[in-house]
Amino acid sequence: MISYRRLKPTQFEEWIDHCANVFASNENEIEHFRDYFRRHFLNDPDRDISTIFVALDDDKIVGSVRLFKRKIYLDGNIIDAGGIGEVGVNPNYQKKGIATNLLNLAFEDMHNLNINLSFLFASRHSFYNRLGYELVSYNYYKTKVIKSEQNVKYKLATMLDFETLTDLYNNYASKLNGPIYRNLFYFENWVKAELNDIYLILNEDDETVGYISGYTRDDSLIIKDFAIKDGYNFIDITNHFASIYFKDYNYVSYPSMHYTPSTYEGTREIPHLMIKVLSPLSDKIQNTNDLKDYLLNSRYGYYETDNF
């Protein structure tokens, strides 16, 4: 007999093991996923073990869903949102409705918390479609690096810079639709753990006007996190940065929310972000399709750093 409840603190490590074993494709990946799920819980400023829902068979965890409490920039406002993650069912218990039952518990929690928007990252689109979620894909554009002179320089960020980074990010992200709001704790813990080096962008007066962080794949520098003050051009800055620190890479790839080029070498669709409006968000966004249409006609996206 399967039972459902909130995770008990004493079962935290068992839950970590459950998630790692469900998501790992082989034994060599299990430790990586243990670190991933533990890190994403401990580095979350809004972590709450009571929003982890589990299915049990004789007190053994066989299924899980975690509700992430987030705030999202949308239409110039900050709104509460519920992220859905760690949706995993033991292979021996799949196709028994366990994931759906767990998700319904998360929906009930969001209703009680007055959270009217839910989002998640998924490859099983049809499953979540049946629960009312809609896919909102976005692109990464790939452009050739063109060297240019810029009146900026770069410096590796330290923990002393994180308050400035937080302010820069929120000022930049607030002009977009979809990025999450980040506080200082989140930046110092979650963001720091998910990024490699973070470079400050300094103007001629040594004022920090932005930051940039990325990683390499194949022939490209991929921009993972970025913010800049008004008056600076995204393409010019990223090209300049790449030509200095990543000379062996001929291309820059970045999310469409930052910039839409007139010409580009290629695109990479990110078909994972799914959304669901639980209750009307505003007069013009009454339901999920309203939100999808609104996002698709705006500068929208999601920072890879914040994935779960």
For the segment 182-192, what is each residue's pLDDT rounded down to a tens digit? 999 999 999 99
CATH topology for the 140-268 domain: Aminopeptidase (3.40.630)
**Mean pLDDT across the stretch 226-243?**
94
Q: Which CATH number is correct for 2-137+271-306, 3.90.180.10, 3.30.750.24, 3.60.21.10, 3.40.630.30?
A: 3.40.630.30
Give the per-residue pLDDT at 262.
Answer: 81
Check for a shared fold between 2-137+271-306 and 140-268: yes
Residues 107-147: pLDDT tens digits? 999 999 999 999 999 988 999 999 999 999 989 999 999 88
Q: Residue 114: which of 71, 75, 76 has the closest Cα?
A: 71
Quote the pLDDT of residue 264.
Answer: 85
pTM for the full predicted model: 0.92
At residue 268, does pLDDT exceed 90?
Answer: no
The share of the chain scoring above pLDDT 90, in percent, equals 90
Residue 5 reports pLDDT greater than 90: yes
Residue 221 pLDDT greater than 90, yes or no? yes
Domain ranges of the chain: 2-137+271-306, 140-268
Burial of 235 (0-12, 13-18, 19+ CB in 10 A): middle
Mean pLDDT of 241-252: 95
Lowest mean pLDDT among 119-123, 180-184, 238-242, 265-269: 265-269
Q: What is the pLDDT of residue 263?
A: 81
Q: What is the dihedral of CA 302, 305, 78, 130, to 10 degrees?
A: 50
Q: What is the pLDDT of residue 260?
A: 82
> Residue 269: its pLDDT value, please?
87
Statement: residue 148 has pLDDT above 90 = no
For 200, the token pair is 């400050």
Q: Specify the DSSP class assigned to residue 181.
A: P
CA distances from 257 to 183, 214, 260, 306 (A): 21, 16, 7, 15
Share of the chain above pLDDT 70, in %: 100
